[in-house]
Amino acid sequence: MRKMTVGHFAVFILCLTLAAAPAQEEQVKPKDGWGEFPADFMGMRGVQGWILAATPRTFSKEDLHGYVDGGAEIFLQYGFRNLTLFQLVPEKGAAPKKSITLQIYRMESPAAAFGIFSTRREGDEPMLPGIKTAHWVVPEQANLVKGDLYVNIVASGCTQAEVEDFAMSLTRKLPAADSPLPQAFSCMPEFNLVPGTERYVCGDVAAAKETPLLGADFWGFKEGLAEAYSAKYGPEKSKLVLVNFKQPPEDLFDKVLGLFKNFLTDVTMINRINRIMEGRTVLGRRLYFGVKELHVAIVLDEPDPRIAQTRIEDALDRAIKLREVESKKSADEKRR
């Protein structure tokens, strides 16, 4: 066998290195600039017709206040993890005045992502039949939720069709799966419920925004001892709010009754067995509430007391049954 010299050995190593190196086209970054996406967004590879105008920026819990001035607390209470910010411009540069700011908020769970999304809608915003996940699209803005991602799209100088196309394309490319409504919404009576108005309320900031009645300290929203679910009902656009407690305060009924009496006039008992109360604001708006075990149901702006009472009773009974099912499921899992 011919002896290998130092020179031959060097050539041999060089050949091995070249053979192991990836092809040249695999080393080149995509021309559309989407190669800057974080690793878990790489499946998107960009939305056709748009490129990055700058390197994406990320914000953690510690620096979110610097970006969302005055509005960071509600995100943190819902379980914010990080925000990735993208600035986009048209690919061919034919319309320099057009741009899109894409904000992708990663939350701690799909329920948290839906929750923060739900606080950003009223329920009458237009939706697209081609997008299955919860969303809305208006001129120069769109919102959607997918898995643990809450997405805000803010467009400048774009047509409605361009915003819709971007939102639809983005939804298809986001790696997270479409997520259904949180299970607790099964407690909301279906009759006359207005789809798209459901809200998941977490933390005292969102609770006080939902209704001033939930702003009192005894509820425990700030400490995470309570959460709420709400939806609007036709034809009068009344609202049902269901509050679920992890640990209810002592004398819950008396505390809620005292709160109603401070806010309302003519507070009366309309069902003594189920302890359902009715009251009126100074402007004549009707409000109702009922308490049962670890749950409180509140109905706002329903003109018919019978409908309000039925809705409260139904919601409370469903909430109790759901808690029993979840408790049994949890117990079975611990025994395995």
Distance between CA atoms of residues 174 and 181, nearest Å: 19
pLDDT digits 0-9 by tens, 196-211: 999 999 999 999 999 9
Residue 46 pLDDT more than 70? no
Query: pTM of this prediction?
Result: 0.84
pLDDT tens digits for range 307-316: 999 999 999 9
Residue type, 217: D
Q: Is the pLDDT of residue 234 over 70?
A: yes
> What are the tokens at 148?
């643990």
Residue 10 has pLDDT above 50, yes or no: no
**175 preceded by a cis bond (ω within 30 of 0):** no
Contact, 270 vs 227, CB < 8 A? no
Q: Please tell me the predicted confidence (pLDDT) of residue 36.
A: 54
Please check whether residue 176 is in contact with residue 195, taking contact to mean a CB–CB distance below 8 angstroms.
no
CB 166 within 8 A of CB 153: yes
- What is the biggest distance separating any 2 CA atoms in the chain, rounded to whole angstroms? 107
Please give the Cα distance from 42 to 207 (Å, whole number). Answer: 36
Residue 39: its pLDDT value, please? 60
Domains of the chain: 24-173 (3.40.1000), 183-335 (3.40.1000)
Q: How confident is the model at residue 18, as a pLDDT?
A: 36
Residue 298: exposed, middle, or buried by beta-carbon count in 10 A (0-12, 13-18, 19+)?
buried
**pLDDT, averaged across the chain:** 85
Structural contact between residues 282 and 266, judged by C-beta atoms closer than 8 angstroms: no
Q: Decide: 73 and 205 in contact? Cβ < 8 Å.
A: yes
Residue 69: its pLDDT value, please?
74
Count of Cβ atoms closer than 10 Å to residue 123 Cβ: 15
* Mean pLDDT (whole number) for 79-105: 87
Q: Are 176 and 308 in contact (CB under 8 A)?
A: no
Contacts of 271 (CB under 8 A, 6+ apart): 290, 309, 313
Residue 236 has pLDDT above 70, yes or no: yes
CA nearest neighbour of 262 among 203, 318, 212, 304: 212
Under 8 Å between Cβ of 215 and 207: yes
| Sheet containing 238-245, strands listed edge to edge, beginning at the edge strand earlier in sequence | 199-201, 226-233, 238-245, 295-300, 286-292, 276-280, 265-271
DSSP secondary structure letter of residue 111: H
Determine the pLDDT at residue 13.
Answer: 36
Q: Which of 49-58, 93-102, 123-132, 160-169 bottoms out in mean pLDDT, i.e. has the lowest?
A: 93-102
C-alpha span between 315 and 271 (Å, rounded)? 15
Residue for token pair 């803005």: 141
Q: Which residue has the higher pLDDT, 241 or 293?
A: 241
Name which residue leads in pLDDT, 231 or 50.
231
- Overall average pLDDT of the 166-170 stretch: 92
Residue 271 structure tokens: 């069902």
% of the chain at pLDDT higher than 90: 61
The pLDDT confidence band at residue 95, using thresholds 50, 70 and 90, is: low
Q: What is the pLDDT of residue 52?
A: 85
pLDDT band for position 99 (50/70/90)? very high
pLDDT value at residue 80? 96
Supply 197's token pair: 């108005």
